[in-house]
Structure 1
């Protein structure tokens, strides 16, 4: 989805123009690019590593 066709409910202008703070926030949120690893993925990897460490500890 892009902000090119969105209309702001506050100022009735195109969000892409960023006329008001609401438009600017919506535009920034639409174009925000996170890193390749979300916090959920990192947490899942840590949980898997924890259980792997527990399993290896029982073996040795």
Structure 2
């Protein structure tokens, strides 16, 4: 989940803006827990998987 989609239950604002202490704490915790692909959008992940599948199919066809 990305920060731009989270809404704070305390102030009803986006967590990414950090309007209240709860937002700021959640934003800090989420940034510390982010992995390698956490900053990629779902569309970018799908595009990467599609490109990987295409490369595998091309390589398989080339070496067959």
Distance of 2:13 and 2:5 partners within structure 1: 10
Distance of aligned partners of 1:33 and 1:17 in 2 relative to their CA distance in 1, 3 Å threshold: same
TM-score by length of 2: 0.49
- Residue 20 of structure 2 is aligned to residue 20 of structure 1: yes
Matches of residues 1-60 of structure 1 in structure 2 within 5 Å? 1-33=1-33
* Contiguous gaps of at least 5 residues in structure 1: 35-60
Larger Rg: 1
Unaligned runs of 5+ in 2: 35-64
Aligned-pair distance for 1:11? Answer: 0.2
* Partner SS state of residue 32, structure 2: coil
Q: Give the alignment's Cα RMSD to 1 decimal.
A: 1.6
TM-score by length of 1: 0.52
C-alpha deviation, 1:9, in angstroms? 0.2
Which segments of structure 1 move beyond 4 Å, counting only runs of 4 or more?
none
